[in-house]
Structure 1
């Protein structure tokens, strides 16, 4: 299992539009084989921050969905990013 988690930064005046524009990608990801969870959300404290969370069954399914990544228009709106990939060896109920 893989978890992709972290945040992007955008202009505070564009942050909510960026999140709204990501709704289609969220819907498509959640319907994709191997996607266990996917969200793009506005941070509750930082007006520039966009939180990213993805959970995938496998690297292959993640890469099949992701393709070449964000288009150039979307990429231009991202001012910064701190997103990491976590490879999970086991999962337990709390």
Structure 2
């Protein structure tokens, strides 16, 4: 299993709109083959932080969904990314 976890930084005043614009991406990810979990959410303490959690059955499933990454419109709104990928065996 591949776990993707970390956070994005966006302008605090844009966070709510950014998350709203990600609804279709979350729905697409959750229906993609190999997706176990896909979640983006507002951090409870930092107004410019969006927490990221993804779980995928295989690297190929993650790569097939991700393609080239977020569209230019979303990518331009991200100020910083601190996200890692981790492999683990699921019990």
Q: TM-score, normalised by structure 1?
A: 0.93
Work out the CA distance in 1 between the residues paired with 2:29 and 2:73: 20
1:34-63, CA deviations, whole angstroms, 9 ceiling, x for partnerless residues? Answer: 000000111111000000000000000011
1:8-27 → structure 2 map (5 Å cutoff): 8-27=8-27
Match of 1:78 in 2: 78
Higher strand share: 2
1:50-89, CA deviations, whole angstroms, 9 ceiling, x for partnerless residues? Answer: 000000000000111111111111111000010000011x
Match of 2:5 in 1: 5
Work out the CA distance in 1 between the residues paired with 2:71 and 2:25: 12
Work out the CA distance in 2 between the residues paired with 1:18 and 1:86: 25
Work out the CA distance in 2 between the residues paired with 1:22 and 1:40: 8
1:49 aligns with 2:52: no
Measure how far apart 1:11 and its partner are: 0.3
Q: Name structure 1 gaps, 5 residues minimum.
A: none
The ranges of structure 1 where at least 4 consecutive aligned residues each deviate by more than 6 angstroms after the TM superposition are none
- May I ask how many residue pairs the two structures share in their alignment? 91
